[in-house]
């Protein structure tokens, strides 16, 4: 999965042009009918050492998105200037203004009052980003789900991405990148992410349940999705925590097999057509291995023309900045497909709303093929 990130970074670097300096990036507007609020949470698990820096306890930054009472107010910052500089440096995009990504226009209002009507609690979706990528890269998906009435918690897995900024100004970098070549790395990463997610759920349904946004959460309706390593980790989190009722893997190779006893809760694979079809070589055969052990409701979809970054904000942002990441599909179209199928899955399994879209091929979405 890191290899895919490196390939994406190289393609970005090779395609950079001076036009960036005059462009302000933006995230496409959510498609739901509700305003979106967001707040940041700094969580500390003092009972658990950090898996990558054991001399410290585990700290997490979480962005919480939720249906809001108003669309008025300051929009959230996409990333800090320091995070932007480190992200662009990691991608080899040194010709761009270092703070460029921090200027990205978003749609969620910072600390907006939650939508009224607490008697009608909202389902919670946890989102987990890919290895090396921070939580910001799933903002467009989070905003869209919140606009459709979900509460969404996007988790930064500390020391597993290029940069995480904490409220006191500390910036952690990718300590895990120093050991990602070692045997057992993906097992360790997956177990750590599962523990991170369970801790976040404990906090949102326990000590933080009265906080802005968290006060809307229905603890009986929780699901998870992730991109790349985050998608693969969704399986492991579900195996470790039965509060998670359903999960989605967006283009994430599954290095850790599902145990023989299987996973009986609903699961959706969505990947790019060049890699995630039966018979693919190398690490991408994990879906084939795991498919028979998904014993509940399941679907396996592939999207023609996409690449690894297509399922995140990086696709639309690269397109706006004139960067070619090798896709054969419009970046906004790829994001719209990701949003549509993700929302349909959660509407079906968290709200019980029938979804013909998930029953088979759709004339409105010819890029999507049902493998299983």
Contact between residue 282 and residue 253 where contact means Cβ atoms under 8 Å apart: no
pLDDT band of 22, cuts 50, 70, 90: low
Q: What is the mean pLDDT of residues 30-43?
A: 96
Whole-number average pLDDT of the chain: 92
Q: What is the CATH number of the domain that holds 11?
A: 3.40.50.1820
pLDDT band of 321, cuts 50, 70, 90: confident
| Residue 336, burial from CB neighbour count under 10 angstroms (0-12, 13-18, 19+) | middle
Domain containing 169 equals 2-370
Taking only the tens place, the pLDDT of each residue in 236-251 is 999 999 999 999 999 9
Residue with tokens 């200037």: 81
**What's the pLDDT score for residue 117?**
65
Taking only the tens place, the pLDDT of each residue in 309-319 is 999 999 999 99
Q: What is the mean pLDDT of residues 63-78?
A: 96
3-state per-residue secondary structure call for 215-255: HHEEEEEEEEEEECHHHHHHHHHHHHCCCEEEEEEECCCCC
Kindly give, in sequence order, each residue whose CB lies less than 8 Å from that of residue 22, ignoring residues fewer than 6 positions away: none
Task: Report the sign of the C-alpha dihedral through residues 233, 236, 242, 248, in that order.
Answer: positive
**Higher pLDDT among residues 20 and 245, named by residue:** 245
Question: What is the number of structural domains in the chain?
Answer: 1
**What's the pLDDT score for residue 119?**
57
pTM of the model as a whole:
0.94
Angle (CA) 303-309-314 rounded to 5° is 130
Taking only the tens place, the pLDDT of each residue in 265-289 is 999 999 999 999 998 777 789 999 9
Lowest mean pLDDT among 94-98, 178-182, 341-345: 94-98
Residue with tokens 């962005």: 63
Residue 8 has pLDDT above 90, yes or no: no
Angle (CA) 177-178-183 rounded to 5° is 90
- Tell me which DSSP letter residue 177 carries: G
């Amino acid at each position: 999965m890191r290899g895919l990130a490196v390939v994406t970074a190289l393609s970005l670097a090779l395609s950079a042009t001076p036009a960036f300096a005059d462009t302000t990036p933006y995230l496409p507007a959510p498609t739901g009918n509700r305003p979106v609020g967001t707040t940041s949470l700094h969580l500390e698990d003092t009972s658990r050492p950090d898996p990558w820096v054991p001399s410290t306890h585990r700290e997490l930054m979480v962005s919480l998105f939720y249906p809001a009472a108003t669309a008025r107010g300051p929009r959230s910052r996409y990333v800090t200037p320091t995070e932007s500089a480190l992200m662009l440096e990691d991608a080899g995009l040194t010709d761009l203004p270092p703070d460029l990504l921090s200027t990205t226009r978003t749609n969620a209002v910072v600390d907006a009052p939650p939508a009224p009507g607490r008697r009608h609690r909202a389902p919670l979706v946890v989102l987990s980003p890919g290895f090396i990528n921070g939580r910001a890269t799933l903002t467009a998906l989070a905003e869209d789900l919140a606009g459709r009435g979900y509460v969404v918690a996007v988790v930064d897995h500390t020391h597993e991405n290029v940069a995480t900024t904490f409220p006191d100004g500390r910036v952690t970098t990718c300590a895990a990148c120093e050991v990602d070549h070692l045997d057992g790395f993906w097992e360790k990463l997956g177990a750590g992410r599962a523990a991170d997610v369970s801790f976040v759920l404990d906090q949102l349904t326990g000590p933080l349940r009265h906080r802005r946004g968290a006060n809307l959460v229905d603890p009986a309706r929780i699901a998870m999705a992730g991109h790349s390593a985050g998608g693969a980790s969704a399986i492991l989190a579900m195996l470790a925590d039965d509060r998670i009722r359903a999960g989605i893997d967006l283009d994430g190779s599954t290095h850790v097999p599902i145990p023989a006893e299987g996973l009986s809760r609903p699961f959706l694979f969505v990947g790019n057509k060049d890699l995630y079809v039966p018979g693919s070589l190398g690490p991408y055969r994990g879906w084939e291995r795991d498919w028979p052990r998904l014993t509940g409701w399941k679907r396996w979809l592939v999207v023609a023309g996409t690449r690894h970054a297509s399922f995140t904000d990086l696709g639309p942002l690269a397109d706006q900045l004139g960067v070619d990441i090798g896709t054969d599909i419009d970046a906004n179209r790829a994001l719209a497909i990701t949003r549509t199928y993700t929302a349909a899955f959660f509407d079906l399994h968290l709200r019980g709303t029938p979804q013909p879209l998930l029953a088979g091929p759709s004339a409105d979405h010819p890029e999507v093929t049902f493998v299983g």
